[in-house]
Amino acid sequence: MNNFVMLRAPIINVTPEFLVFFHFAEIEQIALGERREFTIALNDLEYGPFTLEYLKPLTIRSNLSRPQEVRFSIDATLRSDLLPILNAFEIFELRSLPYSPTNQADGMFSISILLNAIIIVINELLDYWIEGFLRFDPSDPSS
């Protein structure tokens, strides 16, 4: 009986970067004193060891830059009583968008409205101050 899970897949489109996700969850109550412990080897990267807890999901994420292939193995450690498991494996190719997803002028309308409102308030304050200054009579003690 094998104590590992393995996958090897060539990459057809050579792109700069991939995101890889491994999803695990212990969905069975394991016997008291037993453990499921494993390590992950992804291309030349090593992760772990990991021990799963009942119904507590675990996700391991990794970046791969310019891989020729994706190969991984999930190996039981020497302390593990149970075989390794894998609930899901995802790989995403990261691509840059050829065009900006946002119009660079978006939001400028809001800024111009705000600036116009500030200018209006300043003009009102200046008008009030100038009117008050012009009404001021130094010879009149009530002004």
How confident is residue 109, by pLDDT bands cut at 50, 70 and 90? low
pLDDT at residue 99 is higher than 80: no
Q: Which fold has domain 4-94?
A: Jelly Rolls (2.60.120)
- Chain centroid to CA 103: how far? 23
pLDDT over 90 for what percent of the chain? 36
Rounded CA separation 120/107 (Å): 20
pLDDT at residue 143 is higher than 60: no
Q: Where are the domains of the chain?
A: 4-94, 103-143
pLDDT at residue 126 is higher than 50: yes
Q: Which residues pair with 54 in a beta bridge?
A: 26
CA nearest neighbour of 80 among 102, 107, 52, 55 = 52
Amino acid at 76: A
Amino acid at 44: D
Q: What is the pLDDT of residue 15?
A: 63
112-124 per-position pLDDT tens digit: 777 778 888 888 8
